[in-house]
Amino acid sequence: MPVPSQRYVRNHLLSILSPDDYEAIQSVAEGVALGRRDILIAANKSITHVYFLESGIGSEVAATPEGRRIEVCITGPEGIVGVPLLLDVDRTPHETFVQIEGDAVRVEATAFRRLIEERRLLRGIFAHYAYVAHLQTAGTALSNGSHTLEERLARWLLMCHDRVDGDEFPVTHEFLSTMLGVRRPGVTTAIHSLEGAGMIKARRSHVQVLDRDKLKAAAGDSYGVPETEYRRLLWARR
């Protein structure tokens, strides 16, 4: 797939680069289609590429030796999959896979490292994103330990809503139970609670956001800190 010109690129980080920095990335990048469950970063293996999502969502997951998994960070068209490479780390114990299918601009790891070594302004923009991703991970840990399941679910749905076009996106109860680290019956109860309050409409394998303001109220202080910092550091550059 061809890499679009900067005028038409949908990834926000790429859209706010200087024309010169964008051309440098474009010269070593390729466009790729991402299918659901595709592995973007394998756990404990060398990171081969970074991905600037144009659409869709990537899910970063931590796992125990016994195989229990929980989501720690999600990425959409606002960011980049492959943050460890920004920190000069070539692998991670976490896996990142495609949660919602889409498209991406992909850059091979060696070429990406060369770019961030040579281009200070480009490196600075990506470093700001790495900071926001860290805040999201910290917020997930805080939410898991301090908030109710309904608050955590509302937060997760808002984060997905932020990253998709429209108000509906695919998700199953089974997937949510894994990502939130809880049993499936608890997820079903939480979904029914949000649905009963008119915030969402759930049907088989999909959720539609009906009232975002109510959903934000339900999430309370579990949602908003990384989003505020993203707007301050990166969205204002647009």
pTM summary value:
0.95
Task: For the domain made up of 6-143, give the CATH fold.
Answer: Jelly Rolls (2.60.120)
Judged against a pLDDT cut of 80, whether residue 96 lies above it is answered with yes
- Distance of alpha carbon 29 from alpha carbon 197, whole angstroms: 45
With beta carbons less than 8 A apart as the criterion, state whether 133 and 84 touch.
no
pLDDT score for 133:
97
Mean pLDDT of 15-29: 97
Q: Residue 106 corresponds to which tokens in the numbers above?
A: 């992909």
Cβ-proximal residues to 134 (8 Å cutoff; 6+ apart), any chain: none
- Distance of alpha carbon 147 from alpha carbon 221, whole angstroms: 9
CATH code at 147-227:
1.10.10.10
Judged against a pLDDT cut of 80, whether residue 91 lies above it is answered with yes
List the one residue out of 58, 4, 11 whose CA is nearest residue 30: 4
With beta carbons less than 8 A apart as the criterion, state whether 171 and 203 touch.
no
CB neighbourhood size of 33 (10 A): 13
- Distance of alpha carbon 126 from alpha carbon 48, whole angstroms: 18
Mean pLDDT of 196-224: 95
Where residue 237 falls among pLDDT bands split at 50, 70, 90? low
Domains of the chain, by residue range, sit at: 6-143, 147-227
Judged against a pLDDT cut of 70, whether residue 113 lies above it is answered with yes
Q: Residue 109 corresponds to which tokens in the numbers above?
A: 């790891």
3-state secondary structure of 40: strand
Can 6-143 and 147-227 be said to share one CATH topology?
Answer: no
**Beta partners for 51?**
81, 106
3-state secondary structure of 68: coil
Judged against a pLDDT cut of 70, whether residue 238 lies above it is answered with no
Judged against a pLDDT cut of 70, whether residue 140 lies above it is answered with yes
pLDDT in tens, 153-207: 999 999 999 999 999 999 888 888 887 888 888 888 999 999 999 999 998 889 9
Where residue 89 falls among pLDDT bands split at 50, 70, 90? very high
pLDDT in tens, 37-85: 999 999 999 999 999 999 999 999 999 888 888 999 999 999 999 999 9
pLDDT score for 183:
86
- Distance of alpha carbon 179 from alpha carbon 210, whole angstroms: 22
Length of the chain: 238
Q: Please compute, for residue 7, the number of CA atoms within 13 A of its CA located in the half-sphere on the CB side.
A: 0
